[in-house]
Amino acid sequence: MGHYATVWDQKEASEIIKDWNGVDQVLLRNPHGASAKISLHGGQVVSWRNEQGEELLFTSNKAIFKPPKSMRGGIQICYPQFGDCGLLDLHGFARNKIWVIDENPPPLYSNESTGKSFVDLLLKPSEDDLKLWPHSFEFRLRVSLAVDGDLTLVSRIRNINGKPFSFSFAYHTYLSVSDISEVRIEGLETLDYLDNLSKRELLTEQGDAITFESEMDRTYLRSPKVVAVLDHERKRTYVIGKEGLPDTVVWNPWEKKSKTMADFGDDEYKTMLCVDGAAVERPITLKPGEEWTGRLMLTAVKSSFCFDQLELQSKGF
């Protein structure tokens, strides 16, 4: 199962555990105490903790932990459809399927395993999937945890169909925050976005940064490779880097919508924020034999800094 850097004990770097439904999860650790937990149900990252053991991803206290429904929280894989912009159920079927550990994945970039513990997962369509979405594919997902605690997800989707197909995609990432009213996002200012609360109306961001006073569901178009989420009260900044993902989705349900979701607490909108690396506006099209790669890197630093410093943070990404 995967490969591990030699700087720490391989046996300590990763192990397979089971959740309360008996579904396998892979627990990754680094030498300094950070960890990540990935469920084979949905290929979903369900936990990411820093060296102090603090949980960095949000999971609802009312989340339903029973397949085939996906868990509300963590990092969900939305494929082959994001949202309801297609004929499939909300966010597609990948997040509802049982993935398998890929023992012999094709090689990735040379530095993708250096100094990291990681696992490779694989999803292929079932006969039922092909009835709903008649396209053959291989979806490979690598989740890795670095020595410095950074979390990286690399998705590779290959068309093994006899004809082209198109899909939309997102890493639906639930971040844990102290108080949504004290949070701001930097890096998306002046961009055009689709307002999903107003029939995908095309608007332009006017603020110096994105702050939150009500429900928000926006798809920022042609967004930069790096954005930052500043949590002033917790003195923590999430740096979100992405490749192959031209859009950024920002979502918080706020009070009214929270009360309509069975698997979400009425007041939990205050302590979560979704910021997704995504390909939504222009679906990805693959010809037979072609492969697409989408990469997400998450860093959590104990400071609040301005967007001008993000280039330093993202070097090497």
For the chain, the average pLDDT equals: 90
Tens of pLDDT, residue by residue over 244-298, are 999 999 999 999 999 999 999 999 999 999 999 999 999 999 999 999 999 999 9
Rounded Cα gap, residues 256 and 261, in angstroms: 10
Tens of pLDDT, residue by residue over 152-196, are 999 999 999 889 999 999 999 999 999 999 999 999 999 999 999
**pTM of the shown model:** 0.91
* pLDDT at 113 (0 to 100): 61
Tens of pLDDT, residue by residue over 75-132, are 999 999 998 776 677 778 999 999 999 988 988 875 666 678 999 999 999 999 999 9
Closest CA to 161 of 49, 1, 307, 286: 286
Q: Count Cα neighbours of 106 within 13 Å in the Cβ-side half-sphere.
A: 10
The C-alpha angle with vertex 299 and arms to 106 and 142, in degrees rounded to 5, equals: 15
Q: Which helix (H) or strand (E) holds 177?
A: none
| Identity of residue 4 | Y
Helix (H, G, I), strand (E, B) or coil at 140: strand
Tens of pLDDT, residue by residue over 52-75, are 999 999 999 888 877 777 889 999
